[in-house]
């Protein structure tokens, strides 16, 4: 069974294995034991903290194959983007250049560096093994953290954003970075993202141009890359778009990838999830139910948070019947409550 749970320091070597294979651009998963150890320690502190509003907390989850005893995915949430340092984006805007005398009225597409999205909660660190891409386990790895938000709304903002990794070629070159960022740093895109993972994005972002960038002056390849999704990030993009996220008006300042945005109240896994009582079926041995459909199920706890995907034949208004194995995986018993949402 695959179980989503909070990361622990004992997971460090396994998490680094996942990070090493994550795409360029996922700076929240650096292939560095020290940084990953800090990330897990900060997450453990966040899960144990008493919180009444979204602040500097970060929550890092892993997807564990409990039978094989190995990790197959991970994902995270930052409670408040830009809490300790500015969270920069490029905002798509239109400037008007007009002259009444010359009878000219031109609308020009520009990019303006901003930190409009500071204070929103931020989805980060999504990765699953290649063999799980496109399966329902990808849904668990991404949406399981949204069920955590649903159970603990006081820990998060009213809106959630996520930066999707933008286009880069097989050699790790980004036409968007080459057109803008590389003019200010004599390093390629892959090296820039590596530095961001080891340090922070802010120190590079603050050296980027703070004045508007006129998009028509950029090379065609850079313009075409704006808003494009890296093939390995397409799964994240697709899942969240089905959840009700929108591309909005912002792109990443390094690779031009889209920034998705949604109000918490409009996110499908949160709005459509239900808290229901548990009935433990001690007779059933499997997790597949004849005539059932797949559901994401979470226990709604904090340090002991668990989320799984199960085939259930659940009738709204009734308790949900869980096999003994499923109940044990979730850490719940007869009469407890779980949060469920259809996949």
Instruction: Fold for 273-343, please state it.
Output: Barwin-like endoglucanases (2.40.40)
Per-residue pLDDT tens, the chain, 343 aa: give them.
Answer: 999 999 999 999 999 999 998 877 787 888 889 999 999 999 999 999 998 888 899 999 999 999 999 999 999 999 999 888 888 999 999 988 887 888 888 899 999 999 899 999 999 999 999 999 989 999 999 999 999 999 999 999 999 999 999 999 888 899 999 999 888 888 888 888 887 777 777 777 777 888 999 999 999 999 999 999 999 899 999 999 999 999 979 999 999 999 999 999 999 999 999 999 999 987 765 555 556 899 999 998 999 999 999 999 999 989 999 999 999 999 999 989 999 999 9
Closest by CA position to 63, among listed 129, 110, 155: 129
What was the pLDDT predicted at 290?
59
Q: Is 267 in a helix, a strand, or coil?
A: coil
pLDDT of res. 50: 92
Domain range annotation of the chain: 2-90+114-272, 273-343
pLDDT of residue 27: 76
| Catalytic annotation, pick one of 109, 230, 249, 261 | 230
For residue 89, what are the β-bridge partners?
A: 114
**Model confidence, pTM:** 0.92
Q: Which residues of 57-89 are buried (b: 16+ CB within 10 A; e: fewer)?
A: bbbbbbbbbeeeeebbbbbbbbbbbbbeeebbb
Distances (CA, A) of 87 to 57, 81, 315: 15, 6, 44
CB 7 within 8 A of CB 74: yes
Confidence (pLDDT) at 124: 94
Residue 220 near residue 176, CB atoms below 8 Å:
no
Query: Quick one: pLDDT at residue 289?
Result: 56
What's the pLDDT at 284? 64
What b-and-e string marks burial along 215-235, b requiring 16 or more CB atoms within 10 Å of the CB? beebeeebbebbbbbbebbeb
Neighbours of 314 (CB within 10 A): 19
Tallying the residues shown for the chain, one arrives at 343
Intra-chain end-to-end CA distance of the chain, in Å = 17
Which pair of structure tokens corresponds to residue 168? 């880069």
CB 335 within 8 A of CB 277: yes
CATH number for the 2-90+114-272 domain, one of 3.90.650.10, 3.90.550.10, 2.40.50.140, 3.40.630.30? Answer: 3.40.630.30
Which residues, in sequence order, are CB contacts of 178 under 8 Å at separation 6+?
A: 188, 189, 222
Tokens of 240: 């969240």
H-helix or E-strand spanning residue 37: helix 33-48
Decide if 115 is catalytic: no
């Amino acid at each position: 069974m695959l179980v989503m749970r909070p990361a622990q320091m004992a997971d460090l070597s396994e998490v680094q294995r996942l990070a090493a294979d994550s795409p360029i651009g996922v700076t929240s998963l650096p292939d560095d034991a020290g940084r990953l150890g800090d990330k897990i320690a900060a997450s453990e502190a966040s899960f144990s903290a008493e919180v009444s509003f979204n602040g500097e907390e970060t929550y890092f989850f892993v997807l564990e194959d409990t039978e094989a005893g190995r990790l197959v995915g991970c994902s995270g949430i930052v409670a408040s983007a830009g809490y300790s340092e500015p969270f920069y984006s490029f905002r798509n805007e239109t400037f008007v250049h007009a002259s009444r005398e010359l009878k000219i009225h031109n609308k020009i597409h520009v990019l303006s560096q901003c930190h409009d999205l500071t204070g929103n909660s931020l989805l980060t660190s999504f990765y699953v093994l290649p063999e799980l891409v496109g399966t329902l386990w990808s849904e668990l790895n991404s949406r399981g953290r949204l069920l955590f938000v649903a159970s603990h709304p006081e820990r998060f903002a009213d809106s959630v954003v996520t930066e999707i990794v933008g286009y880069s070629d097989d050699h790790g070159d980004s036409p968007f970075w080459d057109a803008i960022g590389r003019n200010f740093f004599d390093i390629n895109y892959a090296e820039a993202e590596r530095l961001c993972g080891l340090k922070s994005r802010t120190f590079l972002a603050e050296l980027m141009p703070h004045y508007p960038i006129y998009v028509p002056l950029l090379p065609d390849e850079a313009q075409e890359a704006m808003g494009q999704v890296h093939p390995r990030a397409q799964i994240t993009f697709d899942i969240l778009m089905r959840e009700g996220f929108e591309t909005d008006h912002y792109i990443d300042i390094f690779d031009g990838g889209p920034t998705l945005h949604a109000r918490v109240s409009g996110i499908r896994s949160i709005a459509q999830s239900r808290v229901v009582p548990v009935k433990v079926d001690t007779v059933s041995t499997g997790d597949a139910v004849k005539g059932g459909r797949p559901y994401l199920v979470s226990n709604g706890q904090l340090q002991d948070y668990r989320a799984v995907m199960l085939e259930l034949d659940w009738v709204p208004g009734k308790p949900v019947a869980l096999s003994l194995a499923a109940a044990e995986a979730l850490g719940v018993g007869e009469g407890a409550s779980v949060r469920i949402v259809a996949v």
